[in-house]
């Protein structure tokens, strides 16, 4: 995730972007003023360290931004450009959220990683940092994701298989051993128990002597998409949104560098939605969180800048680029015009991208390297702030060191060898891409209207609306594939009948035995009176509507486990029962 402070220009306010009277009646004057402002911002922006040239391979200086020529284009053309595109780092942000984009700072290369014991993942974190990644991203195992400890009966067979096993502060300490939290940015992909994991991270920071206000990173913390797509929900929607709002409230006060939520479309897309659905449902979720915070009485310009997003980068190349651009524009417009946010930082949509796992094939897995590279390219052309590239073996298992290295190198090759980062939004102005961006925005608006008709995101979830849409889209794609209306190389065409299996990562049962023992020992060796008291206080706060987040920190500090805290909440809020349809 974007981990630097926002660009400091002399004024951060909206008035900086309001055209003068003369500009607003004369599109070309307005355009020139915008361009001038943008160039001033660029001049004040940082540049990437190092000696890399911005000249191309003919030794010509690469243009930072391609724009229409007001001497040639009509007033109307320029007026439309000002309204729909504008300049980077200026409303409506279609072209990008920083003035000099990747010339100032490359997207964060943030590889999702986690498996086995905390020590195993600590090793993989260090390996990836050593190979040049620039941010950490943590994958947790299913028991942790679902709020169960390694010794729970629900954890049998699942410990450390899909991610790292974290049951307590002890595990978290091991996970970040030798990693100074004031020197890294860490993303944690976890939702229902998300606040507990952030609380654990805060406890480790405290042990390291790092104050909370220095912590940089992102917590996924997006429960609405769980009901819609990934199904890692635990409690019903309303109390779950309450937990999220608690965390946003706390972080707004105490952790100004932390992205409180990563409103996600990735999982919605993986479940089989179309690109337009991914765009619309994700933004709808984002607006629902904004409304929840506003209902809490929070000031939009204080919490909105730390809301972040997470999109999929899928196979239809230009559709993906258009999707990212449309997302920025839709968010900016609604935040400014519907929700009345005044700060440009509230209007800017920043996102992490992951290349599409669901497009990878078990057949001829090396081909996945190519798919991932193309999807990564779309994300970069779409202006992502952070990127994870999948490994070629991920249809079969978690990635080996070799395959994850190739995935990371893919990003590095795009960054350093293609010249693409030297120009902002290079596809901007393409007739095709602009038309597609407009269409995707219009289609998304239709979905927003439909969701409103149903009463909003939570009522739509309860009515199974999103789930039905997604299942229908998934079925349709499958049928198209089976009819060869969509060709997937190696799967329904260009098939190799006898393939040699490749080496994959194996997680042994040893991991489960070890983690289970650790939890059992911990429960015996800690101060159980303190644990009981802390859990009781958590229960009281949850019941009485006090902010749960500080209570999570207190529980974690005394080594209450993840499950112990989640069980308190299961008791207070109940468990959500989904009505399944197919």
Burial 325-339 (b: 16+ CB within 10 A, else e): bbbbbbbbebbbeee
Nearer to other proteins, 154 or 432 (CB): 154
Collapsing DSSP to helix, strand or coil, 502 comes out as: coil
Residue 9, judged by CB atoms within 10 A of its CB (0-12, 13-18, 19+), counts as middle
For other proteins, which residue of 30, 151, 270, 319 counts as binding (CB under 8 A)? 270
Nearer to other proteins, 129 or 489 (CB): 489
For other proteins, which residue of 482, 517, 527, 571 counts as binding (CB under 8 A)? 482
Total Cβ atoms within 10 A of residue 491? 15
CB 386 within 8 A of CB 136: no
Q: Which residues contact 412 (CB under 8 A, 6 or more apart)?
A: 109, 132
Q: Among residue numbers 500 through 529, which ones bind other proteins (CB under 8 A)? A: 501, 504, 506-507
| Nearest alpha-carbon partner for 344 in 336, 353, 352, 354 | 336
Task: Give yes or no for residue 474 binding other proteins (CB under 8 A).
Answer: yes
For other proteins, which residue of 135, 242, 272, 382 counts as binding (CB under 8 A)? 272
Task: Give yes or no for residue 122 binding other proteins (CB under 8 A).
Answer: no
The least CB distance from residue 400 to other proteins, in Å, is 13
For other proteins, which residue of 158, 222, 249, 564 counts as binding (CB under 8 A)? 158
The least CB distance from residue 471 to other proteins, in Å, is 5
Q: Among residue numbers 348 through 377, which ones bind other proteins (CB under 8 A)? A: 358, 361-363
Question: What distances in angstroms separate CA 267 from CA 101, 106, 358, 471, 516, one per listed residue?
Answer: 27, 25, 10, 13, 30
Total Cβ atoms within 10 A of residue 41? 20
CB 400 within 8 A of CB 393: yes
Pick the stretch among 184-192, 211-219, 255-263, 484-492 that binds other proteins (CB under 8 A).
Answer: 484-492
- What DSSP character marks residue 47? -
Beta pairing partners, 508 = none
For other proteins, which residue of 14, 374, 397, 489 counts as binding (CB under 8 A)? 397
The least CB distance from residue 484 to other proteins, in Å, is 8
CB 225 within 8 A of CB 267: yes
Task: Give yes or no for residue 489 binding other proteins (CB under 8 A).
Answer: no
Task: Give yes or no for residue 578 binding other proteins (CB under 8 A).
Answer: yes
Collapsing DSSP to helix, strand or coil, 310 comes out as: strand
431: tokens are 């007739």
104: tokens are 């100032």
CB 307 within 8 A of CB 259: yes
The least CB distance from residue 504 to other proteins, in Å, is 7
Task: Give yes or no for residue 148 binding other proteins (CB under 8 A).
Answer: yes
Nearer to other proteins, 162 or 181 (CB): 162
Task: Give yes or no for residue 549 binding other proteins (CB under 8 A).
Answer: no
For other proteins, which residue of 179, 210, 300, 471 counts as binding (CB under 8 A)? 471
Nearer to other proteins, 129 or 474 (CB): 474
The least CB distance from residue 364 to other proteins, in Å, is 10
CB 290 within 8 A of CB 339: yes
Question: What distances in angstroms separate CA 59 from CA 53, 55, 64, 416, one per listed residue?
Answer: 9, 5, 15, 16
Site string for other proteins, 195-234 (x = CB under 8 A): -------------------------------x---xxx--
For other proteins, which residue of 271, 379, 433, 558 counts as binding (CB under 8 A)? 271
Q: Which residues bind other proteins (CB under 8 A)?
A: 142-143, 145-146, 148, 154, 156-158, 161-162, 226, 230-232, 270-272, 358, 361-363, 395-397, 470-471, 474-475, 478, 481-484, 490-492, 501, 504, 506-507, 578, 580, 582
């Amino acid at each position: 995730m974007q981990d630097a402070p926002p660009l400091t220009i002399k004024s951060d306010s909206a008035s900086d972007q309001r055209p003068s009277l003369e500009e607003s009646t004369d599109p070309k004057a307005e355009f020139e003023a915008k361009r001038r402002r943008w160039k001033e911002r660029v001049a004040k922006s940082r540049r990437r360290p190092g000696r890399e040239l911005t000249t191309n391979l003919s030794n010509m200086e690469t243009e930072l931004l391609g724009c229409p020529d007001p001497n040639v284009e009509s007033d109307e053309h320029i007026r439309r450009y000002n309204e729909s595109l504008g300049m980077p780092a200026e409303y409506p942000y279609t072209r990008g959220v920083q003035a000099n984009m990747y010339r100032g700072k490359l997207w964060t290369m943030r590889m999702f990683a986690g498996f086995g014991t905390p020590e195993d993942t600590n090793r993989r974190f260090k390996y990836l940092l050593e190979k040049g990644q620039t941010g950490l991203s943590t994958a947790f195992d299913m028991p942790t994701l679902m709020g169960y400890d390694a010794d729970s009966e629900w954890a049998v067979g699942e410990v450390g298989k899909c991610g790292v096993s974290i049951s307590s502060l002890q595990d978290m300490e091991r996970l970040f051993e030798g990693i100074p939290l004031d020197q890294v940015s860490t993303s944690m992909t976890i939702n229902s128990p998300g606040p507990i994991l952030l609380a654990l991270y805060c406890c480790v920071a405290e042990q390291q002597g790092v104050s909370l206000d220095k912590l940089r990173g992102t917590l996924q913390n997006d429960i609405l998409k769980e009901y819609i797509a990934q199904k890692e929900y635990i409690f019903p929607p309303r109390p779950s949104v309450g937990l999220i709002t608690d965390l946003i409230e706390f972080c707004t006060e105490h952790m100004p560098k932390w992205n409180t939520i990563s409103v996600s479309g990735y999982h919605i897309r993986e479940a089989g939605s179309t690109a337009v659905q991914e765009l619309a449902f994700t933004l709808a979720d984002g607006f629902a969180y904004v409304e929840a915070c506003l209902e809490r009485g929070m000031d939009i310009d204080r919490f909105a800048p730390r809301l972040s997003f997470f999109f999929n980068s899928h196979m239809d190349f230009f559709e993906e680029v258009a999707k990212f651009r449309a997302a920025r524009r839709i968010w900016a417009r609604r935040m400014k015009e519907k929700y009345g946010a005044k700060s440009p930082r509230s209007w800017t949509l920043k996102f992490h991208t992951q290349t599409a796992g669901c497009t990878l094939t078990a057949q001829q897995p090396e081909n996945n390297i190519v798919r991932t590279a193309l999807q990564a390219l779309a994300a970069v052309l779409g202006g992502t702030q952070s990127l994870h590239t999948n490994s070629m073996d991920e249809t079969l298992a978690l990635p080996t060191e070799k395959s994850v290295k190739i995935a990371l190198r893919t990003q590095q090759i795009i960054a350093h060898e293609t010249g693409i980062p030297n120009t902002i939004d290079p596809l901007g102005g393409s007739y095709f891409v602009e038309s597609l961006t407009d269409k995707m925005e219009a289609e998304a608006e239709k979905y927003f209207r439909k969701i409103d008709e149903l009463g909003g995101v939570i009522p739509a979830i309860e009515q199974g609306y999103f789930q039905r849409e997604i299942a229908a889209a998934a079925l349709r794609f499958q049928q198209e594939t089976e009819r060869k209306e969509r060709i997937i190389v190696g799967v329904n065409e260009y098939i190799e009948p006898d393939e040699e299996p490749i080496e994959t990562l194996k997680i042994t049962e040893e991991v489960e035995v070890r983690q289970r023992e650790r939890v059992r020992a911990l429960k015996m060796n800690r101060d159980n009176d303190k644990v009981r008291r802390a859990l009781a206080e958590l229960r009281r706060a949850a019941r009485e509507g006090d902010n749960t987040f500080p209570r999570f920190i207190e529980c974690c500090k005394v080594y209450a486990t993840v499950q112990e805290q989640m069980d308190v909440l299961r008791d207070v809020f109940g468990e959500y029962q989904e009505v399944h349809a197919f």
